Structure 1
Amino acid sequence: VIAHRIELLEQSAKTIERICPHLKVDIQGGGHKASKHAQVVVGGVQSLGMPGAAPEILTQLAPSLVIVDEAHHASADTYQRIFQRTGCYDPLGPMLVGYTATDHRLDGQSLSGDQCVFEEVAYRYPLRKALADGWLVDVQGYKVDLDINLDKIKKTAGDYNESALERVMNTEPVNEAAFKGWEEIGGRNLKTIVFCVTIDHAKDVAEIFRDHGVKAEAIWGDMGSEARAETLRKFAGGEIDVVTNCQILTEGTDIPTASCILMLRPTKSWSLYVQMVGRGLRPLPGVADAHSEPLFRCSAIARSAKPKCVVIDVVDNSVAHRLSGKPDDGSTPSLNEMFGLPSTLDTEGATISEALDVFEDLDEAVQASTRQRPTKFTGIKAKVAQFQM
């Protein structure tokens, strides 16, 4: 099993051990060294894919299956070295399987098909189905509108240039507006993860929250792993109410106690956007997995201490005028589009489940019209209710 951060290595190893207690599972990387007797090795990309000689564990293990976590990274050179070293591209080599919630890359590179890392997409599980099946909590979206225009910010590799974006986003008026929007929505009662542009931005936002009496801390990639783990432990345990971060909680991190996502890091990347929102969508432990039927899972989530996740998008003044789009057409990511709703539909205050139920009751012509112009969900809901009466 291949992953790219120590938190993901440890998380994957614990999950495999819980589900398959009869297997010997070891970690290779992040200060850990796998035993030659291991049946499953959860390995770090840097440890297994570094230039030079292949790590001894790869020849000792002779895997029959290679699993890639966050597989949208699989085209990178480090991953390619691992695939070559384990014989994944050989006719009789191990099967290569990748898992990702976001198979759309900003560079437009496909992950499956001829001359690609993977031959085909074997299975897709849409987020809206995961929501309906009771594996995700419901979502309630809000927007904090700012008097800025991100269209003027230059792009690097398809996304906003980090330095240019920080100059616009990391200002006291923007950070204060984000805090006030969060507070007005009821953020003080929600365990919140804030996504920021840079390390300085994460630190500055945490300071603003603390200035307003909120227990908040920042974490980032270069922070010591022990200090980072301690901060996350305090967040999960209730000692900290808000964690701000820069590019560290965007992928795979399992923090089910988080019930609010504050997006202070605008992006053109659908992959990054979905990853950030996804950090708040997991139900509390023992709620959904205690039931075998979707209806019972959904009911259990609705009755739990975390029935939904609040997602707050801090947006510029041009977003409201953009038409709905898809990940492959260069459009700006949106919470609605993640679940198959048009971004032109203003669902603020409603849950995604409620909006889906109403939208799917509309005829095709009305749905198409909604995708072409800004539309208030409250108006559509009232018309549907009137028609049903």
Structure 2
Amino acid sequence: MKLRDYQEELVESIKSSFLKGNRSIIVQSPPRSGKTVVMADISKGATDKKNHVLFFSHRKEINDQVVKTFELNQVNMEYVTIGSVQSLVRKIDELPPPEIILVDEAHHIKANSYKKILEAFPNALKLFFTGTPIRLNGQGFEDMADDLITGKSIKWLQEHGNIAPFKYYAPNIIDTSQLKKTSGDFTQKSMDEAFKRAIYGDVIAHYNKLSKGKQAICYAHNVATAQHISEEFNQAGITAEVVHGKTPKTEREAIMNQFRAGEILVLINVELFTEGVDLPDVTTCIMLRPTQSLSLFLQ
């Protein structure tokens, strides 16, 4: 898969930073700009030379997509280890020492589990990919990275035909006066209060007005609200399903396969598909999860 010009520019910037002596580099490029393809290109170059690559993220769905993209780009998977943070941290001693470590959605790297993996391989070149190198608590990444490489902006990518333009609608569905913050974002309790008087019929009406018959992904703040929204959609004759962190693995995979096949029109999720998941047939996002987090919002 041939890289686009701005992706090639990103790779060259990484090489230049490495040649300057930087060994831990944050690579910022907006969501949907093709960071996985860039990682595949880097990994192909490494594995062609029989260098080991370690890739990890916090979501199975992201890892599955990476495997497909790497294989499509003829990366030699014999020299690649791909896993979730949770699984890799339990078997660090069994991992082949990597020459390159790639982390996706790397704004999470300050978590202890990430640090444990990264610190186990001090000699590896570490590349941290993220669309949003920001944290809600305001902490930076100076203690984790030597350099920050910034890719093209969303505006530039849209103007040059690389990211689809979008229309933004903001109907007043919940009582925002009830929202209260702690640690920088809205509390679960205040979101519950805000949604007590929510007119769920308005969600259906706006979907029918703006995106009828098209696939949508809906973000809810808790499972009870997600189930309520799903019931409303299904009663209106619009097929909808709910997935969340505790949905059994086989059930979650079955729902995702149905959604990708177009058998489900609206997928309602709770804190699950907020980062890095490719759903190319989705034309609509329904944001019923208020947030003060710029990172969560952009993702």
TM-score class, shorter: 0.7 to 0.9
Q: Does 1:41 align with 2:81?
A: yes
The alpha-carbon distance between structure 1 residues 170 and 5, as it changes in their structure 2 partners (threshold 3 A), is: farther
SS of the aligned residue for 1:232 comes to helix
Please, what is the CA RMSD of the aligned residues? 1.6
Structure 1 partner of 2:38:
none
Displacement of 1:170 in angstroms is 5.2
1:1-389 maps to which residues of 2 (within 5 A)? 1-21=55-75, 23-24=76-77, 38-50=78-90, 54-58=91-95, 61-87=96-122, 93-111=123-141, 113=142, 116-146=143-173, 148-150=175-177, 152-169=178-195, 171=197, 173-185=198-210, 187-275=211-299
SS of the aligned residue for 1:190 comes to coil
Displacement of 1:147 in angstroms is 6.2
Q: Which amino acid aligns with 1:123?
A: T
Give yes or no for contact 2:175–2:195 (8 Å, CA) kept in 1: no
Give yes or no for contact 1:160–1:268 (8 Å, CA) kept in 2: yes
CA deviations over 1:193-212 (Å, ceiling 9, x no partner):
01001011111101100111
CA deviations over 1:221-266 (Å, ceiling 9, x no partner):
1101221111111111111111111011101111101000011111
Displacement of 1:124 in angstroms is 2.4
Identity over aligned pairs, percent: 27
Question: Hey, what's the Cα distance between the residues in 2 that align with 1:146 and 1:85?
Answer: 48
Question: Hey, what's the Cα distance between the residues in 1 that align with 2:277 and 2:106?
Answer: 15
The alpha-carbon distance between structure 1 residues 170 and 100, as it changes in their structure 2 partners (threshold 3 A), is: farther
Structure 1 partner of 2:49:
none
Question: Hey, what's the Cα distance between the residues in 2 that align with 1:13 and 1:77?
Answer: 25
Question: Hey, what's the Cα distance between the residues in 1 that align with 2:98 and 2:159?
Answer: 36
Higher gyration radius (CA) = 1
Q: Which amino acid aligns with 2:111?
A: A
The alpha-carbon distance between structure 1 residues 218 and 170, as it changes in their structure 2 partners (threshold 3 A), is: farther
SS of the aligned residue for 1:142 comes to coil
CA deviations over 1:323-364 (Å, ceiling 9, x no partner):
xxxxxxxxxxxxxxxxxxxxxxxxxxxxxxxxxxxxxxxxxx
Question: Hey, what's the Cα distance between the residues in 1 that align with 2:270 and 2:111?
Answer: 22
Structure 1 segments of 4 or more deviating over 4 A? none
Higher RCO (Cα < 8 Å, 6 or more apart): 2
Question: Hey, what's the Cα distance between the residues in 2 that align with 1:178 and 1:13?
Answer: 36
Question: Hey, what's the Cα distance between the residues in 2 that align with 1:102 and 1:272?
Answer: 9
Q: Which amino acid aligns with 2:199?
A: V
Give yes or no for contact 2:174–2:194 (8 Å, CA) kept in 1: no
Question: Hey, what's the Cα distance between the residues in 2 that align with 1:220 and 1:109?
Answer: 28
Question: Hey, what's the Cα distance between the residues in 2 that align with 1:170 and 1:64?
Answer: 52
Q: Which amino acid aligns with 1:259?
A: T
The count of aligned residue pairs is 245
CA deviations over 1:159-214 (Å, ceiling 9, x no partner):
1001320231254x4322222222222x2232110100101111110110011111
Displacement of 1:133 in angstroms is 2.7
Q: Which amino acid aligns with 1:127?
A: I
Give yes or no for contact 1:170–1:201 (8 Å, CA) kept in 2: no
Q: Which amino acid aligns with 1:57?
A: E
Q: Which runs of 5+ in 1 are unaligned?
A: 25-37, 88-92, 276-389
Question: Hey, what's the Cα distance between the residues in 2 that align with 1:125 and 1:57?
Answer: 38
CA deviations over 1:289-347 (Å, ceiling 9, x no partner):
xxxxxxxxxxxxxxxxxxxxxxxxxxxxxxxxxxxxxxxxxxxxxxxxxxxxxxxxxxx
Question: Hey, what's the Cα distance between the residues in 2 that align with 1:174 and 1:64?
Answer: 54
Q: Which runs of 5+ in 2 are unaligned?
A: 1-54
Question: Hey, what's the Cα distance between the residues in 2 that align with 1:143 and 1:121?
Answer: 34
Give yes or no for contact 1:169–1:175 (8 Å, CA) kept in 2: no
Q: Which amino acid aligns with 1:47?
A: S
Displacement of 1:97 in angstroms is 0.6
Give yes or no for contact 2:245–2:270 (8 Å, CA) kept in 1: yes
